[in-house]
């Protein structure tokens, strides 16, 4: 598929070749060029066969990996033909359990594919051969390989003098299983209190460095080296976006629809008498971020015309531009609160891929972000 810029270049080349043509030949050429340009700027790639309720996906090279429940489906990016499937539900070796209110997550690497479920990590080759599965502690909400070690997000309780619960990012030794905390912040769900903008900790391993956002401090991303030592900080000024009444209603709707909470409309008022719903005056600086192609794509809480703002930064934190990309269905309230890493978009080679869920299945779309 051409990008818009490549399409424009092809149009110019064709026009140059045909510049001596006259009359009906020129009219026919221009008509064909206009039709071609419309195709080149189209966003829809096509339907994904038999994908109805995706939990996550990743474009990697010439393939599209889709996780649905316990199964990974791999499609050819050019044709969207289904190439292979692997993974199944169960409790045996290489099998994955499904939790109704918490999606499993997918990680795709050059040499392996990982399903991160509620009780273990299952590692496959890209062809679907089982490499190993690793039982993990149930309080871990996300586990990501970090060289020979792991970065872990964990929900923990405070001590007897501190009754709060926290989300924490830890270094987990692959050899000794030793845990070392790198960062923590208050968990969105406290005793009889719920923070209605569920700001979990987002993190990513890129080029053997760990990037951790610290939104309670503002627009801050800490970077850690392979052994878990902090090596630098990205910190920027940002304009706060106020939380409006309309925003509150949207998050209340998200909470009511959450399958774990299971709050019926008739029980909503009773729920509010037992649980304090807390709203901040403004949104956090960072909603989410992904790193690809030596760029950090930071999703903010600003939006317009059904599109969300992304700031494109280099790895040192310099902002290159701001872009608004199509709004994609976000994870449920509990998934956001726990911080499972569920996304229905990905970025690869300067292209924003996303899933559009329809009654008849899922469409794959793409939009160019940068070259």
Structure tokens at 40: 């080149």
Our CA angle for 114, 112, 317, nearest 5°, is 80
Q: What is the mean pLDDT of residues 127-138?
A: 89
Per-residue pLDDT tens over the stretch 301-353 = 999 999 999 999 999 999 999 999 999 988 888 888 887 778 899 999 999 99
Are 155 and 165 within 8 A, CB to CB? yes
Dihedral class, residue 73 (left if φ above 0, else alpha if ψ from -120 to 50, else beta): beta
Q: What is the pTM of this model?
A: 0.85
β-pair type (179-186, 193-195): unpaired
Confidence of residue 371 (pLDDT cuts 50, 70, 90): low
159/64: higher pLDDT: 64
Per-residue pLDDT tens over the stretch 196-253 = 998 889 999 999 999 999 999 999 999 999 989 999 999 999 999 999 999 999 999 9
Are 7 and 326 within 8 A, CB to CB? no
Q: How many CB atoms lie within 10 A of CB 205?
A: 20
- Residue 197 three-state SS: coil
Question: How does 332-364 read in b/e, with b if 16+ C-beta sit within 10 Å?
Answer: bbbbbbbbbbbbbbbbbeebbbbbbeeeeebbb
């Amino acid at each position: 598929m051409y990008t818009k810029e490549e399409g424009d270049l092809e149009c110019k080349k064709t026009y140059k070749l045909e510049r001596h043509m006259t009359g009906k030949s020129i009219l026919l050429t221009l008509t064909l060029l206009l039709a071609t340009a419309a195709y080149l700027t189209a966003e829809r790639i096509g339907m994904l066969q038999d994908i109805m309720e995706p939990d996550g996906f990743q474009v990697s090279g010439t393939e599209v990996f889709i996780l649905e429940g316990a199964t990974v489906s791999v499609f050819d990016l050019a044709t969207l033909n289904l190439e292979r499937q692997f993974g199944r539900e169960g409790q045996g070796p290489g099998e994955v359990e499904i939790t109704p209110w918490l999606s499993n997550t997918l990680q795709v690497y050059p040499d392996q594919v990982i399903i991160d479920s509620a009780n273990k990590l299952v590692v496959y080759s890209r062809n679907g051969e089982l490499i190993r599965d690793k039982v993990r502690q149930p309080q871990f909400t996300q586990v990501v390989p970090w060289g020979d070690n792991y970065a872990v997000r964990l929900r923990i309780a405070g001590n007897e003098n501190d009754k709060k619960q926290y989300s924490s990012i830890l270094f987990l030794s692959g050899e000794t299983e030793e845990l070392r905390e790198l960062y923590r912040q208050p968990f969105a769900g406290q005793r009889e209190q719920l923070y209605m903008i569920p700001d979990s900790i987002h993190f990513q391993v890129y080029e053997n460095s760990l990037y951790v956002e610290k939104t309670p401090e503002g627009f801050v991303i800490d970077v850690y080296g392979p052994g878990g030592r902090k090596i630098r900080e990205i910190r920027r000024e940002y304009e706060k976006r106020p939380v409006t009444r309309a925003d509150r209603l949207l998050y209340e709707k998200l909470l009511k629809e959450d399958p774990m909470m299971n709050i019926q409309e008739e029980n909503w008022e009773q729920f509010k008498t037992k649980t304090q719903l807390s709203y901040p005056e403004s949104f956090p600086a960072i909603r989410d971020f992904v790193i690809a192609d030596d760029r950090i794509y930071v999703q903010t809480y600003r939006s317009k015309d059904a599109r969300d703002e992304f700031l494109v930064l280099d790895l040192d934190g310099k902002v290159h531009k701001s872009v608004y990309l199509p709004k994609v269905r976000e994870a449920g309230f509990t998934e956001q609160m726990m911080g499972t890493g569920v996304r229905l978009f990905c970025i690869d080679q300067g292209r924003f891929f996303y899933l559009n869920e329809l009654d008849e299945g899922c469409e794959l779309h793409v939009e160019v972000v940068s070259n």
